[in-house]
Structure 1
């Protein structure tokens, strides 16, 4: 699943604010903030909708031996 570091990096690639991510995923802004700061571990379903929002915007997560991400421009 997505890590807080990947979340921040994906937002950076898309030039999204935490609010932009919250709006795109349907997750509260506070939940996004808490996750990125490592204050809370969201449920798997919450992480899945965050990841899906990024993927729909063109971010690909590469979770092999070295987790990372890249942006596919359309």
Structure 2
């Protein structure tokens, strides 16, 4: 059984995409969710089903986005898992070729 995933908000999706430099079509490609559905979700005219929300959240998390819950009077948000300099180094390492291993960075 799939664990419930906290809901993702439209602003979190927009901000997460901005942090990792993805377009709507890039997120659509990463999630297999139609770009038109993501566009309507981010415009707050559609609330995607739980599977679409899980796919969007998982793709953004895989790209390095961390979702911050609303708590203690502070709104929900997003941030990068790593500082930008670390992200650049990881991207360089990943582009060097060779056999890839499991991501063991927590």
Shorter-normalised TM-score: what interval? over 0.9
Which structure 2 segments of 5+ residues have no match? 1-6, 88-106
- TM-score of the two chains, using structure 1 as the length reference: 0.93
Residue of structure 2 aligned with 1:22, choices 25, 28, 35: 28
Residue of structure 1 aligned with 2:66, choices 20, 42, 60: 60
RMSD: 1.0
Other structure's SS at 1:5 match: helix
RCO (CA 8 Å, sep 6+): is it higher in 1 or 2? 1
- TM-score of the two chains, using structure 2 as the length reference: 0.66
Shift of 1:64: 3.4
Aligned residue pairs, count: 74
Paired with 1:58 and 1:13, the residues of 2 have a C-alpha distance of: 9
Q: Deviations over 1:23-64 (max 9, x none)?
A: 011100001001000111110111011000000111010113
Structure 1 position 11 matched with structure 2 position 17: yes
Counterpart for residue 42 of structure 2: 36
Which structure 1 segments of 5+ residues have no match? none
Comparing both structures, which one devotes a greater share of its residues to helix? 1
Moved over 4 A (4+): none
Shift of 1:8: 0.4
